[in-house]
Structure 1
Amino acid sequence: MQELRKHNLTGILLIYMACFSFRIAEYLFLRTDQTILGEAFVHKLLGLGFMLAALYVYRLKLEQIGFQKEGFIRNTLIGFIWGLIAFALAYLLEMAVLISQGGFRGLDFYVSAYSVSGNIGQHREMIFVLLCLAGNLINVLMEEGIFRGLFQKLFERKHSFMTAAVCSNILFGLWHIMAPLRSLLDGEMSLTGFWFNSLILVVTSFLIGFQFSLMTKLTGSLYMGMAAHFVNNTVVNLFHVLSKNGADQLLTVRISIAQTLSLLALLIYYRRLVYLLLRR
């Protein structure tokens, strides 16, 4: 264990590969996200176990990676409001485009699961809403705890915040290639489609994760990023835009708009804050 503590990168990669191996197993064999549960959550529960084990190995406490008690309610509310505003603007822009084209047919509320080719499934019972909320909660606890909490903390032992954020979120970006990989292996996607979709998902996930890293830096905890992450995942699974071509035809565009607006606003605020601190 002492040797592992000395080599942060080795430890990070071992934890990442362990989590990713279970992610592969769930996506290719268990396929829980394609079942009535609608979420690949088993490997994320195991990931939380890996995180707690790593905290023991590295002699860290939950508070040290962003799970402190102070500011929980305040930062969580800020994250929820931040995410909801970004997505409200994205939905309005999407509806405006569809209305201008004469294709808007309204909004709908039901539970679906995200797929590379668009949302799948349509469940309206309350039990599915609760399953969706629970699955997304497990998701944000694991991904924020691992990538913006544990990995960020370990990288920062030898690197600056920015370098650590870039490194941890490159891993987060690569974490998202499983959906297009499964589609490729299942014959649902061509090799060209796989590379194209993988590139989009990796880059988009990197930028979204980097945004959550900035939120963690600004607030000193994971809660704002967790709340914004929860909104990002949950809203697109529950609120759907109907058009003459079907539901959620501009889903990818909607997510891109919401996250671009959110990231730009956050970068402006972060730059302004750093500027004011340097002037003191």
Structure 2
Amino acid sequence: MKDGLTKNPVKCILVIYMICFLFRILEYMVIRTDYSIFGEAFLHKLTGIIILALTLRYFSLSWSSVGFTSKLVVRYLLYGLTLGAAVYLAAYGSEILIQQLNGNNPELQIYVTSYGIHGNTRIQTGLLFFIFCVVGNIINVIMEEGIFRGLFIRMLETRCTFLKAAFISSILFGFWHIAAPMRSLLDGEISGTGMILSAIMLILTTGITGVKFCLLTKITGSLWMAMADHFFNNTIINLLHITTSSGIDEMQVIRISIAQTVSFLIVLFIYIKSRANQKITFRT
């Protein structure tokens, strides 16, 4: 491992982050792949995976050293999918119950949409769009978990504790999501105040979710469970919708908040109970 990593991990991380974020801004503001037939901004995620690979090579790190381990892959993937399914079962069930009590006749429907800060958009039902959705979300979790929970945690733990590393990684992950409200502001879809409020909401919610993914990484010593949970969260939002007599996915923000709050509490309990803080994050 090169000395630059152990001496200046934060500086290295900020450089990598800014490069990835510039590609993200380019795609969101100029290329706008998520407005195309693909319905997903995936190009900067592919670029992020390439940047991750080049960084690992530069610092003489292996993929397993940042969480892409070869052990218990299937088991942890199933654990992550199960966690996601369980909390969203509770979230969807709660929303349906509330809508029924309000007399809105809720129904579950399956189709593909692109998620936006004001709700899902561009309804699609063709098989190709389902494939784009799944593949796009796979690319997304490989890049985001590999960068934020894999590489960044590995680099930061050379100089600080896991909890500090998780905090820094999650703050960066929160700011990673402000590209959408920035674009909405430039497109005239929201006001300056609306942009600030949306950005704060996204930074807080995705930051907390980022902490949860960090804890899952610490508990398992790999990225697989966090990747599977992350994948389920993103995919279910794009595919499974609640329609009522008054609209579609009207309580989506509440649904996601319920799922992620329950999920975070479950993971935090497991983290404390298993004494994961005493473990080495990535065994190499």
1:72 matched residue in structure 2: 73
Cα contact 2:218–2:277 (8 A) shared by 1 = no
**Distance of aligned partners of 1:275 and 1:131 in 2 relative to their CA distance in 1, 3 Å threshold:** closer
Deviation at 1:66, TM superposition (A): 0.3
Percent sequence identity over aligned pairs? 43
TM-score by length of 1: 0.96
1:109 matched residue in structure 2: 110
- Separation in 2 of the partners of 1:250 and 1:132? 22
CA offsets 1:194-252 (integer angstroms, 9 cap, x no match)? 11111110110011111011101111110000000000000010000001221101111
**Distance of aligned partners of 1:270 and 1:244 in 2 relative to their CA distance in 1, 3 Å threshold:** same
CA offsets 1:77-133 (integer angstroms, 9 cap, x no match)? 000000010111000000011011011331100000001100001111111101100
Counterpart amino acid of residue 262 in structure 2: L
2:19 matched residue in structure 1: 18
**Distance of aligned partners of 1:127 and 1:120 in 2 relative to their CA distance in 1, 3 Å threshold:** same
* Equivalent residue pairs, number: 278
Cα contact 2:217–2:226 (8 A) shared by 1 = yes
Q: Residue 119 of structure 1: SS of its match in structure 2?
A: strand
Matches within 5 A, 1:227-246: 227-246=228-247
1:37 matched residue in structure 2: 38
CA offsets 1:9-37 (integer angstroms, 9 cap, x no match)? 11101100000000000000000111110
Cα contact 1:4–1:10 (8 A) shared by 2 = no
**Distance of aligned partners of 1:167 and 1:123 in 2 relative to their CA distance in 1, 3 Å threshold:** same
| Mapped pair 1:48 → 2:58 | no
- Separation in 2 of the partners of 1:3 and 1:162? 23
Deviation at 1:3, TM superposition (A): 6.2
| Mapped pair 1:95 → 2:133 | no
**Distance of aligned partners of 1:16 and 1:98 in 2 relative to their CA distance in 1, 3 Å threshold:** same
2:4 matched residue in structure 1: 4
Gaps of 5+ in 1: none
2:127 matched residue in structure 1: 126
- Separation in 1 of the partners of 2:246 and 2:73? 42
Counterpart amino acid of residue 258 in structure 2: I
Gaps of 5+ in 2: 280-284
Counterpart amino acid of residue 172 in structure 1: F
- Separation in 2 of the partners of 1:211 and 1:2? 30
Q: Residue 123 of structure 2: SS of its match in structure 1?
A: strand
Deviation at 1:277, TM superposition (A): 7.4
Counterpart amino acid of residue 121 in structure 1: R
Cα contact 2:107–2:243 (8 A) shared by 1 = yes
Deviation at 1:58, TM superposition (A): 1.4
- Separation in 2 of the partners of 1:246 and 1:29? 31
TM-score by length of 2: 0.95
- Separation in 2 of the partners of 1:269 and 1:103? 37
- Separation in 1 of the partners of 2:16 and 2:250? 37
| Mapped pair 1:158 → 2:159 | yes
- Separation in 2 of the partners of 1:31 and 1:113? 12
1:272 matched residue in structure 2: 273
Q: Residue 114 of structure 1: SS of its match in structure 2?
A: strand
Q: Residue 178 of structure 2: SS of its match in structure 1?
A: helix
Q: Residue 106 of structure 2: SS of its match in structure 1?
A: strand
**Distance of aligned partners of 1:146 and 1:254 in 2 relative to their CA distance in 1, 3 Å threshold:** same
Matches within 5 A, 1:195-214: 195-214=196-215
RMSD: 1.6
Counterpart amino acid of residue 71 in structure 1: L
Moved more, 265-274 or 224-233: 265-274
- Separation in 1 of the partners of 2:211 and 2:187? 31
| Mapped pair 1:140 → 2:141 | yes
Counterpart amino acid of residue 157 in structure 1: T
Matches within 5 A, 1:165-244: 165-244=166-245
Counterpart amino acid of residue 40 in structure 1: A
Deviation at 1:4, TM superposition (A): 3.4
Q: Residue 113 of structure 1: SS of its match in structure 2?
A: strand
